[in-house]
Structure formats: structure tokens, C-alpha cells
Chain A
Amino acid sequence: MTVSTVASASRAEDDRGEVARGCFVYAVVRAGMPEARDAPAGLDDVPLRLVVEGDVAAVVNDVLLDRPPGRRADLMAYQRVLDHLAAQGPVVPVQFGSMLLDDDDVRDGVLGPDEPRLVALLDDLEGRSQYQLRATYVPGVPLTEILSLDPTVAALREQTKDRSELESHADRVELGRRVAAAMEDLRAFDADVLLDAVLPFVVDHVIVLGTDLEGLATFSLLVDDERVAELEAQLEELAEAVHERIRLALTGPSAPFDFVGGA
């Protein structure tokens, strides 16, 4: 099998005292995308390469397998590369941390078998970008609303606030449980309203509801390039309308991390 042959070859290199290298894979782009060669350096400041197979190409760079982790820098380098690629044309991100042994593995294990699907994905993403809309509550607002709307929560707060944590443990857990449940309802309700407002302007969306006291939701939005201005105008109007309760922050464009059917 190809994989084991390659693996033993690299072990042989080790025996000769050389350090084994791997291929860090960032993304798949169209084979004819020359701009990919102008991308910034990747992990460890090593220049990027293209591994071409048919109509698609993987953007990779060579990385020493025994390199120190350097987690933050790796993640940032990955994002920098993907940002650059996304600005050039359609790009299918490959999950962060994907390492193959060599170019043959990239062709045989990533590009070759999936070429038709990758081409279709790239066609589908042409002229589209991902934006992240992050909605957060103005601090204190959701708790104030919950306290004023739910007498049980207000009563539990009264019962627990001047007692020690130890003696009021059960009441505190109950208070927190009720607040957590109320927060979930509030987030779901508000997220629906926000989503309704942006739906006409997006091709696809993914919602992740918040989990803490200020997080409402993060919306990943796939947007046609020519509709971005409309979306921004709509969001500005929305942000003004809700600004006493909710803050809206929009980032992007970025590579379509949430719209390639991964993970």
C-alpha cells in the first residue's frame, strides 16, 4: 500500500539521521489559480507550494515532523494563508492540522479520489465569501430582563445573596439552572429575530448559540460578493435598532470554513 511504503521510506531517512518532513495542507483551490503562488509564507515561514492533480490543487508547505508545536503561531499562519487564498478566488479549507507525508499522499489521499466533489465545491463557492456576525448582549441586560420577568429567579436571588455559598448551595444551583434556562430561551428568541433580518441577503448560514452571560449567537454567513453592501446596510440598521440590548460585530470576508461540508 502506498501509505506504508511512504512511511517506511521516511523511517529510513530517520535512520540516516535526517529529519523527516511532512506536507502541511491548507486548502484546495483551482489548479489554474496562479495567484496561489504569491501567498504569504506558511508555517515556519516556509514558502507555500501547489500540488496539482487534474483541475484542483492543494496548497501545502513542507514542515519538519519533529518541529516544536508553536500552537498560536501555527494557527495564525494557517489563517493568514486562508485569508490570502480567499481573497484570490474560491477556496476549500482543509481542516487545520492536516499533515501528510509527501506530495504523492496529497494527490492520492486528498485530491484524486475527491476531484469531482472538490471541483463542484469550488464552483459553488465562486464569488462568495464567509462573514461572521457575532451578537453579544450588553453586559447586565439579559440578567436584568430575566430578574424582572421571572419572580422565581428574583426570589431565589433574595434567598441566596446574603447566605454563605455552603448553606445556600442547593438554592444557588437552582437559581443558576433557572437563569441558564432563561438565557437559552432569550438567546433562541433573539437569534431568530436577528436571523430573519439577515436571511434575505445570505446564501447559507450556520448558527452557534452563545453559552455565557453575554454571548447571544455567532452566525456564519455565506454571502454573494455583490450582496455584501446590502447585508452591511441591513446590519447597520439592525445594530442601531437593537443597540441598547445587543451589540453586533461583523468580521470577514474569510474563507468559507463553515460551508464545505467538513467536520
Chain B
Amino acid sequence: MTTQTMSRRQGGGYLERPAPSGLADVVEMILDKGIVIDAYVRVSLVGIELLTIDARIVIASVDTYLRFAEATNRLDLVENGGGKPLDEFLGDMQQSGASRKVKGAVSGVKSALTSGKEKDDDEDEGSRRPARKAPARRGSSDE
């Protein structure tokens, strides 16, 4: 297994098990959740209503689009920094079939999950292979 793969591992597994600690985590998990008490019985606690509003940050779509566009434009800087012009990078990806990576990875997931128990015979039982090997398997089924 490569070192890059190893570095992703946390506590011996790929599934991270963080404790929800940040305010953002807690806000996402609990705000606006739970049973609601009739408004006429409630009294307001200064600050709490404000927090509810603060947490619902809605960004206008055009701003979002511009941010996405900027990120897309920034992406090639990263790739160029990696030593390859983007065109070449994309060419490599297409040649290697990585442009179909989405479906490849997904079918990899499905086969890993559905065939993991009964249909692992065609692979070494001992060494589970990560999804990036999946396109090869998928490719053979295409032919």
C-alpha cells in the first residue's frame, strides 16, 4: 500500500470518527431541530433568536457562481504548480480513462460492497484492493 494511502488513514481506518467539537458542527447538528414549543408559550431569550438567524447564511446565487468560477480558474494554477500544463494533464486523464473516474469509482464502491462477501474469489482474499483498481475490473466487463 502506498504511503499516500497510508497518510489518509486515521486510527487504522479510512472512516474518520471525529468528536463534534466546532461551533459549526454543533450548529449544523442541533439548530432548528427538536420539538417546537408554541410561540405564545415561549418567552424570548435575548441573543438566541439572533443566533438562529446568523446561522442561516444564504448566499445570493450569482455570488456563489462567481466563487465556483474562481475556484475552477484557480484549479489550473494548482495543476500547473504540480509541473504539468492543464491540457496535458487532461489529455493524460482522458488517455488513462480517468475522465470516467466517477463511474469507475462508483462501480468500484458497488462491487466492493455487493460482491465483498461472496464474490471475492477472483481476487486475493487477504489483500483488499482500493477502488482505484476498479476501472480495470469495470473495463473487462465492458468487453
* Residue of B whose beta carbon sits closest to that of A64: B45
Show 28 residue pairs from A and B whose CB-CB distance is below 8 angstroms, ordered by the A residue.
A67-B45, A68-B47, A70-B47, A71-B51, A92-B34, A95-B33, A95-B34, A95-B36, A96-B33, A132-B29, A140-B75, A143-B72, A153-B72, A157-B76, A176-B64, A236-B14, A238-B112, A239-B14, A239-B16, A240-B131, A242-B105, A248-B14, A250-B15, A251-B20, A260-B34, A260-B35, A262-B32, A263-B32
Cβ contacts under 8 Å, B40 to chain A: 3
A13 at the interface (CB under 8 A from B): no
Residue contact B65 to A154, C-beta cutoff 8 Å:
no
Q: Are B27 and A176 in contact (CB under 8 A)?
A: no
- A144 CB–B CB distance under 8 Å: yes
Pair B23/A179 contact, Cβ less than 8 Å: no
Q: A98-B37, A173-B66 are in contact. Are A237 and B71 (CB under 8 A)?
A: no
Shortest distance from the beta carbon of B87 to any chain A beta carbon, whole Å:
9
Given contacts A74-B48, A177-B65, contact A249 B72 (CB under 8 A): no
Residues from chain A with Cβ under 8 Å of B99 in the complex: 145, 148-149
List the 7 shortest-distance A-B pairs measured between CB atoms, nearest first: A69-B47, A176-B65, A109-B41, A93-B34, A239-B14, A176-B69, A257-B33
Docked pose: A65 CA to B46 CA in angstroms: 8
Task: Report the tally of A-B residue pairs with Cβ distances under 8 A.
Answer: 251
B41 → chain A closest CB, angstroms: 4
- Measured CB to CB, the closest approach of chain B to A192, in angstroms, equals 9
Please report the total number of A residues contacting B with Cβ < 8 Å: 91
- Structural contact, A238 and B109, CB atoms closer than 8 A: yes
Task: List the B side residues contacting A240 at CB < 8 Å.
Answer: 13-14, 112, 128, 130-131
The interface residues of chain B lying within 8 Å CB-to-CB of A224 are: none
State whether A99 touches B106 (Cβ < 8 A).
no
Name the residue among B23, B41, B50, B131 with the largest chain A CB count within 10 angstroms.
B41
B residues less than 8 Å from A176 (CB atoms)? 64-70, 72
